[in-house]
């Protein structure tokens, strides 16, 4: 049965996020639909594809308007999904102020511990408030009843819960914050922290990724002038949909993937799959691989790192810089160690579709997730889900939320280059039985904690609390 029916939510489920699950573009062959890279869409798409409902998001593709009807809903022939997708149109100045400015030059670096510091501009904040208001109005317009269940996603939309609450006081509003939540001393740098906290605390439930994020949020709530809001606050680690019955990887898959990326047959494969973001620790990963090649020359010619780096937020200087840096490091390492027949680093600086990414996971010996700081990191969970042959090793940053669940990964500190190099060496040397034991344990964790369980807990708590019943005791 549908989760919504079980929970008594009715049919009035509205998801609201900045990024849409599908982006339409014009090509010489006609309009194509693409799924953007990123954990939010990976997780939420699975839930809405099962539950139905309405998804409201910013329309950013150059064919997005042409694929919508007069109510800004994507026409049926362009959306092969059981939910409605309503697009919201933002002007260039709104994108620059709300998305690039306040969200990604302000809140994103505020919430992630990296070398990039946040920038706050009053004009960006004004756009942020206005755009949040526009999203909230779209929610009200889409609500079929006075008591919709509204799932608000992420740091782009922190004011939406309060703005929806003003118009629909009985709505069940669940906000999920996908990225880390900063400690109070750090949050104190945000000029509009009181407004942001008030916006969030109008929710029925505020969900964070990990117990540490939840504790930071509670400290922030304690410190804000308006005092404790009514929202129930807890950790709800996000996840993926566990794949149905899958064949074992075909014997030729490894060679096939190597051929696709120009890697010689028989070369062992390390794989990294990331958005090209400075939070992901890609330079540190490359440095560690370089160090490994120095320390263990017997690996020269024997192992390549295939790094997929999906372009992202390209208008921002910090993203242009990380992209330039990763390309330059790749070129330098390849010039230093590469031969006519072997490239140590193969950088695919483009997005890859889900099937290709799964093939890469299945063909690799080791998956590298070395984020400097990450809310959850669903690549780690996707890799585990793809390895039904119980082989392959995950090297995982302790600074990613996923590390709290995937204890059987080889856990590393993302700035400890020597430690990462040793972990990659250990992963390459790991006996098959140990790979199997670790993979089996991680698969048990992820298969039992899917995104449907995540949605059930979040929505279940939202429904219970809205109905005035006693909340589940907090952890």
Residues that bind ligand F6P (CB under 6 A): 19, 36, 38-41, 154, 178-179, 275, 312-313
Nearer to ligand F6P, 178 or 193 (CB): 178
For residue 390, give the nearest of 219, 216, 249, 208 by alpha carbon: 249
Residue nearest to ligand F6P (CB): 38
Shortest Å distance, C-beta 388 to ligand F6P: 26
Nearer to ligand F6P, 39 or 414 (CB): 39
Shortest Å distance, C-beta 376 to ligand F6P: 9
406 phi and psi angles, rounded to 5 deg: -100, 70
Shortest Å distance, C-beta 144 to ligand F6P: 26
Shortest Å distance, C-beta 338 to ligand F6P: 32
Nearer to ligand F6P, 178 or 232 (CB): 178
- Spatial CB neighbours of 464, under 8 Å, sequence gap ≥ 6: 470, 471, 472
Residue position matching structure tokens 């990024």: 19
Nearer to ligand F6P, 178 or 362 (CB): 178
Shortest Å distance, C-beta 283 to ligand F6P: 19
Shortest Å distance, C-beta 310 to ligand F6P: 9
Nearer to ligand F6P, 151 or 257 (CB): 151
Nearer to ligand F6P, 312 or 410 (CB): 312
| CB atoms closer than 10 angstroms to residue 25 | 14
Nearer to ligand F6P, 128 or 261 (CB): 128
Shortest Å distance, C-beta 101 to ligand F6P: 13
Phi-psi region of 30 (alpha: psi -120 to 50; beta: other; left: phi over 0): left
Nearer to ligand F6P, 304 or 323 (CB): 323
For residue 118, give the nearest of 101, 130, 132 by alpha carbon: 101
Q: Is 417 exposed, middle or buried (0-12, 13-18, 19+ CB in 10 A)?
A: buried
Shortest Å distance, C-beta 88 to ligand F6P: 14
Shortest Å distance, C-beta 29 to ligand F6P: 25
Nearer to ligand F6P, 9 or 139 (CB): 139
Nearer to ligand F6P, 24 or 178 (CB): 178
- Spatial CB neighbours of 365, under 8 Å, sequence gap ≥ 6: 268, 269, 270, 303, 392, 393, 427, 428
For residue 363, give the nearest of 270, 450, 284, 442 by alpha carbon: 270
Nearer to ligand F6P, 179 or 263 (CB): 179
Calpha distance 346→350 (Å, rounded): 12
| CB atoms closer than 10 angstroms to residue 122 | 9
Shortest Å distance, C-beta 409 to ligand F6P: 21
Contact 113, 164 (CB under 8 A): no
Calpha distance 368→270 (Å, rounded): 7
Contact 281, 273 (CB under 8 A): no
Shortest Å distance, C-beta 100 to ligand F6P: 9
- Spatial CB neighbours of 192, under 8 Å, sequence gap ≥ 6: 125
Residue position matching structure tokens 């949909």: 241
Tokens of 337: 């160690």
For residue 417, give the nearest of 351, 370, 452, 383 by alpha carbon: 370
Q: Provide the strand spans (E) within 292-409.
A: 303-310, 345-348, 366-369, 393-397
For residue 198, give the nearest of 170, 223, 181 by alpha carbon: 223
Shortest Å distance, C-beta 65 to ligand F6P: 19
Positive or negative, the CA dihedral 250, 254, 259, 264 is negative
Nearer to ligand F6P, 40 or 206 (CB): 40
| CB atoms closer than 10 angstroms to residue 65 | 12
Calpha distance 72→100 (Å, rounded): 23
Q: Is residue 27 helix, strand or coil? A: strand
């Amino acid at each position: 049965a549908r989760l919504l029916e079980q929970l008594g939510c009715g049919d009035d489920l509205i998801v609201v996020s900045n990024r849409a699950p599908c982006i339409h573009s014009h090509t010489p062959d006609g309009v194509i639909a693409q799924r953007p890279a990123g954990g939010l869409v990976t997780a939420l798409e699975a839930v809405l594809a099962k539950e139905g409902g309405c998804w409201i998001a910013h329309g950013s593709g150059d064919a997005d308007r042409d694929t919508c009807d007069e109510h800004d809903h994507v026409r049926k022939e362009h959306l092969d999904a059981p939910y409605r997708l309503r697009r919201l149109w933002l002007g260039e100045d709104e994108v620059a102020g709300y998305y690039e400015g306040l969200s990604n030059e302000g809140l994103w670096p505020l919430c992630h511990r990296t070398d990039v510091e946040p920038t706050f501009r009053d004009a960006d904040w004004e756009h942020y408030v206005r755009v949040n208001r526009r999203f909230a109005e779209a929610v009200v317009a889409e609500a079929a009843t006075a008591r919709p269940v509204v799932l608000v996603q992420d740091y782009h939309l922190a004011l939406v819960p309060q703005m929806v609450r003003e118009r629909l006081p009985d709505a069940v509003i669940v906000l999920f914050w996908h990225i880390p939540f900063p400690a109070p001393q750090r949050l104190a740098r945000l000029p509009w922290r009181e407004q942001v906290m008030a916006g969030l605390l109008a929710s029925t439930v505020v969900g964070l990724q990990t117990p540490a994020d939840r504790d930071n949020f509670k400290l922030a709530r304690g410190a804000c002038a308006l005092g404790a809001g009514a929202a129930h606050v807890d950790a709800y680690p996000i996840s993926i949909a566990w794949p149905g019955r899958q064949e074992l990887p075909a014997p030729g898959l490894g060679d096939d993937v190597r051929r696709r990326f120009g890697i010689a047959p028989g070369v062992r494969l390390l794989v990294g799959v990331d958005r090209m973001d400075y939070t992901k620790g890609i330079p540190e990963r490359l440095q560690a691989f370089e160090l490994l090649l120095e320390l263990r020359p017997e690996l020269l010619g024997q192992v390549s790192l295939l790094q997929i780096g999906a372009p992202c937020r390209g208008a921002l200087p910090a993203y242009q810089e990380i992209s330039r840096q990763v390309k330059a490091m790749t070129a330098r390492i390849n010039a230093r160690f590469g031969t006519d027949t072997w490239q140590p680093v193969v950088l695919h600086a483009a997005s890859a579709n889900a099937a290709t990414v799964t093939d890469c996971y299945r063909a690799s010996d080791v998956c590298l997730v070395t984020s400097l700081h990450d809310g959850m990191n669903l690549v780690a969970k996707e890799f585990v889900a793809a390895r039904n042959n119980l082989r392959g090793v995950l090297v995982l940053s302790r600074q990613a939320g996923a590390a709290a669940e995937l204890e059987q990964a080889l856990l590393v500190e993302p700035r400890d280059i020597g430690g990462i190099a040793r972990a990659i060496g250990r992963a390459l040397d790991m006996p098959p039985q140990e790979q199997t034991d670790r993979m089996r344990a991680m698969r048990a964790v992820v298969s039992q904690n899917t995104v449907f369980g995540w949605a059930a807990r979040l929505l279940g708590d939202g429904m219970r609390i809205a109905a005035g019943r006693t909340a589940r005791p907090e952890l």
